[in-house]
Chains A and B, each alone.
Chain A
């Protein structure tokens, strides 16, 4: 089955700095890569996703990149704000199948004001 590795497990930055979270996956058939943000006491919320037919996608301060050859993808947050503090999860899945995302172990992002 799919295995998703995520690094770092914790990330501490100053407000205004950029943050980068990296993930690798094992199944070359995976073609859909969502990123979730989870705040304390809440369920994960989708913030951005990327499909295998594109290499990069951007939404305001958030961007994701995908390298299919190397089987890794990354989340980039620019101009971080304290409200970005949360746990971020990457995931990988195969669309056209059962579409069951396999999640990484999460990155706890702390943005210091």
Chain B
């Protein structure tokens, strides 16, 4: 596809469960970002990858959150022991390189019940 693809589009999980959210960036884009967006708020930075490495993970709220990008393309955001407060839309964005326009996916809406 031409754009950033995120799967699933919606995820409902029970409190305490483990979830994985997937992001397929635009082909060739080296920079990848994860953001979290709560209702009525702007996107909140979580983690930034340059290639395979996490260049900045200062936005991850705690050690229950982890993200990987093993081959420098697809990225997975992993949340352990989910809590109701984790409910939000998780957005992924990619850019050709650092300092160029970031393109966002449509997001994954996570609901923890």
Contact = CB atoms under 8 A, between A and B. Distances in A.
Nearest to B95: A99
A37 B96 CA distance: 20
Task: Name the residue in B42, B56, B105 with the highest tally of chain A Cβ atoms < 10 Å from its Cβ.
Answer: B42
Contacts of B103: 46
Contacts, number: 54
A66 B55 CA distance: 29
Contacts of A32: 99
Interface of B: 4, 31, 33, 35, 40-45, 48, 55-56, 91, 93, 95, 98-99, 101-107
Interface string A30-52: 00101010000111111001000
A36 B101 CA distance: 11
Contact of A98 (B44, B91, B98, B104): B98
Instruction: Assign chain A's interface to a size class.
Output: 20 to 34
A9 B35 CA distance: 20
Contacts of B42: 4, 6, 89, 91, 103-106
